[in-house]
Structures are given as structure tokens and as C-alpha cells.
Amino acid sequence: MTGIPTRRIAVYPGSFDPFHNGHLDIVQRCLPIFDEVVVAVLFNEEKRPLFSVDERVAMVRHLLAESFPGAPCRVESFSGLLVDFMARLGARTVVRGLRAVSDFEFEFQMALMNRRLNPNVETVFMMPKEDFSYLSSRLVKEVYGLGGDLTGLVPPSVLALLAERLHPEGHPENRPGHNA
């Protein structure tokens, strides 16, 4: 990438398995600052995510359309190096949410490695709303799987997808032998 791009495109990458209210909060904080926000969903099927990359892209597209109608944000999937994906988009800013000090070490390594791979790429960290500072996709899956209440932490549409995937007994269409 050469020169300074005229459009400020923020790339917000992650696994988003699933997307939760902390992620939505970060997108909302980006919208007034950048010309465009691209949520970049990692294609990582080898890590056996709960939702396939196509399901995660559809989940986030639906949420962004519902939460920020008409806003300059979109959702793409990517595989390979994040910096290569960004170069294809003409983007130079990575946005990552920073919840606690425990996030810092991994984020620090990624930010510096990405900058080494492409010196034009800078990482911007955003703190989500305090209410979401302990929230992670891993905890969302664990708590929901064990029957815990996630009201206010996960959008209703994601809750419905989690119910379908983690508690299929509540969904007759998913029972073996059901052929309606």
C-alpha cells in the first residue's frame, strides 16, 4: 500500500463466535470516527467454531442492519493474513476491543506483528462499555450451554441462534427423526 488513503476504513477483525453486545458496542464507537467500518470475520473452521463462517457473517450482517440502519458498515469474511486482507480493501486501521489488562499481552503482540508485516497498518484499541468488560464469546457459549441467563449481554437474534445450536431439544425440527 502506498500513499495515504482518502477514506478512513476501520477493519474490526475477530472470530465473533458468536457476536455479542460488547462487539456491537465497539462498532458503534467506531462509526463516528471512521468513514467505513468493516467487520472482518475470520475463516477458522479448523478451530471448530460453534457457528460456521457463513453463519457468523449472516449473524453480524443482520445485527448491523438492525442496529445501525444505513450506517457505513459491512461484514466480510477473510482467511490468511489480516494485513493482506486490509491491503486488498485499502484499509490501514485495525480496531480491537480491549477489555482488561489480561487482553493486553496478546493484543500487543498482534499489533506489533501486524505493523511489522505492513508498516502502514496501525492498531487502535477501544474500551467497550463497562457493562461488557468481562464479556467474551467463550463465556457466552459456556454460560448459555449450562443454562445461564444472558439477557442484556447478547442480542435476541444471537440468543435464538444459540438456543437452536446448544439446546436443540427445545427445537422439535432438530430432533432426530423429525422430517417436517
The residue ranges that bind ligand PNS (CB under 6 A) are 13-15, 42, 81-82, 110, 113-114
Length of the chain, please? Answer: 180
Is 23 a catalytic site residue? yes
Smallest distance, Å, CB 14 to ligand PNS? 3
Phi-psi region of 33 (alpha: psi -120 to 50; beta: other; left: phi over 0): alpha
User: Among the options 29, 99, 115, 129, which is catalytic?
Assistant: 99
Q: What residues does 41 pair with on adjacent strands?
A: 14, 77
Question: Annotated catalytic, 20?
Answer: no
Cβ neighbour number for residue 86 with a 10 Å cutoff: 25
**Closer of 82 and 159 to ligand PNS (Cβ):** 82
The number of helix segments (H) and strand segments (E) in the chain equals 6, 5
Spatial contact of 51 and 165, defined as CB atoms under 8 Å apart: yes
Decide whether 13 or 128 has the Cβ nearer to ligand PNS. Answer: 13
Cβ at position 96, least distance to ligand PNS in Å: 7
When the beta carbons of 126 and 147 are compared against ligand PNS, the nearer one is 126
Residues annotated as part of the active site: 23, 47, 99, 137
